[in-house]
Amino acid sequence: MTLFASFLLLGVISCSLASNNRIVTRSSIALIPSVSPTLPVVPSATAQALSKKHSKHVNDFFKLYGWLEPGKSVPDSDLPKAIRKIQKVLKEPVTGVFSDKMMDMLDKPRCGTEQPYNETDAKNPSDIHKRYVLWGSKCAAFAQWMRFMPLNIVPANTNANADINILFTSFGRDDTRYAFTSMVSDGVSLAAGNINVTFNDDYQWNDDRLFNFTAIHEIGHAFGMSHSAVEAAVMFAYYEGNIRPIHPDDKMGIHSVYGWKNPKWSRIDSNTAANMIPVTSISNSVSANDGLYQIRSSGQILRYASGTWTSVDNNKDTAQIAGAGGYLYQRHSDGSTYRWSGSNSNWQYIGTASDNVIDIVAASDQVYSRRKDGWVARWSGTGTSWLSIEQPSAQTSKQIAITDSKTLWNLLTTGDLVRSIWPYNSGEWLIVDQNAANMAIAAGGDEFYKLQSDGTVVWLNTKENYWQTIESAGSVAIHAQGDYLYSRHRDGSVWRYTGTSGVWEMLDDRKDVVSVVGDRGGEVWEMLTNGDIYRLVS
Ligand SMILES: *[C@@H]1O[C@H](CO)[C@@H](O)[C@H](O)[C@H]1NC(C)=O
Ligand SMILES: *[C@@H]1O[C@H](CO)[C@@H](O)[C@H](O)[C@H]1NC(C)=O
Ligand SMILES: *[C@@H]1O[C@H](CO)[C@@H](O)[C@H](O)[C@H]1NC(C)=O
């Protein structure tokens, strides 16, 4: 369906002065469907032609995820079905035919730990809770996991009977496994001294980061966690060349076995904050101005970093703060805008006063403003000049959100959702959704989410171009940052998305949480109705 409508394109505007050369351009509507598109039917001849290698990959994958009864294998006639199941896990188009990406991925080194078959899990792979088999708590581990669990692990004395043994042995030629973990277990508890983490000594292990990553994964097994079906999680069985940081899914896994550190939340301020925002760099690397910032009702701005608050500015005219890409911005009540580059007095004047400016949004390495006349503008990077962004003329922006690759999403007051690809002036707005129930939007990294008035949270699968509901009810606010997505419920509870549709981990069940923000490293802060700010400890 393609429809054309007239839209306006404005040229460069300086300050709040709009140029007169309005160029009529066109914009299209390409609504994103809310179900997976119908995929081509695969002729069975193709399925039969699948090589032995495909079959081995499928069987390996099924074993790694505990989907196969011991001693059994997937019959050739079931391969397309099995491939579809794997494709669902990998969020690949579900064709039933080996794709290049799948071939590539399943060829990659993997963890050799096979999950014990569990019929309940196998029948209901979507119920991720079941994969966290509790094998007991008598374990040893590395500091990475200790950040998230109430357990202290120490190296054993020489000759002592350690709970976990670390071994290096040669796995032999052609064995692509990096390591595996083996244990004596009745499925409920672990036998101390009988958990072995064995690394493949045929690898040189001269890449510390890779060894570190492999060890964190294997220690996760030694703690009783099975393989995750979330591709971005540490506990995903394959290694595709990217060192994966600990993921919300991994955190939920370890919490579901051992619980949380106590106390779970620690209060870091009790001075009636009016609002708080995180500032983080675009990538996972740290930037000098990273931290949590709060604005008080007095207009004072404070920064929280390395455990202390420092004042960044104290001006009664400050109405709003925003931050991204290592920069902090403030908007005054007269609409003027400033950028902070690190020292108290060092505020750069970047936007002149105008009552047209109602909101500033920092994202990626840019800062945008939302205006009363409905337009969105972007700071040009020099002086006080802002560039307006082509937009459906008759409609007013309600909220904007921007992904790391700078795709700009604009939720209009009608519920229409429009999208513009960087660099906005060369393209048109595309109307991708028309739903009066659209209430709020959020972008984290390159992922995009929307919240609907019925409390559902919907994720956009950009690969296959469809909407998928990932939370079915209860949400009243969402916040995304990097790989993390948080949802606050009507009852005040706060949840973190694990990457599997419908599976969220509850972070807090206090009734008086008014706001939750996080940074790209996974730090989480919440603000209560009384203005207290708390930090999540584990
Ligand atoms: C399989 O998993 C279910 C749910 O987690 C559990 O109740 C059951 O005991 C498990 N079965 C075996 C044989 O471990
Ligand atoms: C762990 O390794 C030791 C020494 O090689 C071996 O005797 C033991 O059987 C192994 N245990 C498991 C559960 O693999
Ligand atoms: C090991 O991995 C953790 C978590 O990703 C990271 O914080 C730490 O810096 C890594 N250490 C090394 C030596 O790479």
Residues 6+ apart with CB under 8 A from 400: 361, 368, 370, 376, 408, 409, 410, 411, 441
Phi-psi region of 342 (alpha: psi -120 to 50; beta: other; left: phi over 0): left
Residue 30 placed within a domain: no
Q: 428 is written with which tokens?
A: 């048109």
Domain limit, last residue, from 258, 284, 306: 258
H runs (alpha helix) in 126-281: 143-146, 208-222, 248-258
Residue 39 placed within a domain: no
235 is in an annotated binding site: yes
Let me know if 218 is a catalytic residue.
yes
Number of the ligand closest to the Cα of 222: 2
Give the residue with greater pLDDT, 456 vs 181. 456
Distance 285 CA to ligand 3 centre (A): 13
Protein residues with CB under 6 Å of any ligand 2 atom? 165, 182-184, 194, 196
- Whether residues 144 and 101 share a domain: the answer is no
Among candidate residues 92, 218, 231, 526, the one labeled active-site is 218
The finding on whether 250 has its CB within 6 A of some atom of ligand 1 is: no
- Whether residues 208 and 59 share a domain: the answer is no
- Whether residues 17 and 58 share a domain: the answer is no
Give the residue with greater pLDDT, 123 vs 491. 491
Q: Is the pLDDT of residue 262 over 70?
A: yes
CA 457/CA 470 separation, integer angstroms: 6
Parallel, antiparallel or unpaired: strands 466-471 and 457-461: antiparallel
- pLDDT score at 138: 29
Q: What is the pLDDT of residues 285-317, one digit of tens each?
A: 778 889 999 999 999 999 999 899 999 999 999
- Whether residues 356 and 298 share a domain: the answer is yes
Residue 130 placed within a domain: no
CATH, residue 240: 3.40.390.10
Number of the ligand closest to the Cα of 148: 3
The finding on whether 291 has its CB within 6 A of some atom of ligand 3 is: no
260, 497 contact by CB (below 8 A):
no
- Model pTM score: 0.83
Domain limit, last residue, from 224, 258, 292: 258
Q: 96 is written with which tokens?
A: 């039933």
Task: Print the domain residue range for 361.
Answer: 265-536
- Whether residues 221 and 89 share a domain: the answer is no
Q: What is the pLDDT of residues 198-209, one digit of tens each?
A: 988 888 777 777
State which H helix or E strand residue 86 sits in. Answer: helix 79-89
- pLDDT score at 316: 97
**Percent of the chain predicted with pLDDT > 70:** 83
Q: What is the pLDDT of residues 411-447, one digit of tens each?
A: 999 999 999 999 987 667 889 999 999 999 999 999 9
Distance 120 CA to ligand 1 centre (A): 6
> What is the biggest distance separating any 2 CA atoms in the chain, rounded to whole angstroms?
83
- Whether residues 360 and 474 share a domain: the answer is yes
- Whether residues 327 and 473 share a domain: the answer is yes
10 Å CB burial of residue 32 (0-12, 13-18, 19+) is middle
Instruction: Calculate mean pLDDT across residues 204-233.
Output: 86
Give the residue with greater pLDDT, 157 vs 27. 157
Q: How many domains does the chain have?
A: 3
Q: What is the pLDDT of residues 244-255, one digit of tens each?
A: 999 999 999 999
Beta bridge partners of 321: 330
Residues 6+ apart with CB under 8 A from 217: 111, 179, 234, 235
- Whether residues 117 and 225 share a domain: the answer is no
- Whether residues 439 and 329 share a domain: the answer is yes
Number of the ligand closest to the Cα of 185: 2
The finding on whether 245 has its CB within 6 A of some atom of ligand 3 is: yes
Q: 205 is written with which tokens?
A: 């292990």
Q: From the CB of residue 326, how many other CB atoms can be counted at a distance below 10 Å?
A: 18
At residue 240 the predicted structure's pLDDT band, cuts being 50, 70 and 90, is confident
- Whether residues 199 and 274 share a domain: the answer is no
The finding on whether 130 has its CB within 6 A of some atom of ligand 1 is: yes
- Whether residues 142 and 107 share a domain: the answer is no
Q: What is the pLDDT of residues 128-169, one digit of tens each?
A: 333 333 232 323 346 889 899 998 877 777 777 878 888 888
Pocket test for ligand 3, best of 142, 144, 147, 212 (most atoms within 8 A of CB): 212
The finding on whether 406 has its CB within 6 A of some atom of ligand 1 is: no
Distance 216 CA to ligand 3 centre (A): 9
Q: 222 is written with which tokens?
A: 């030694």
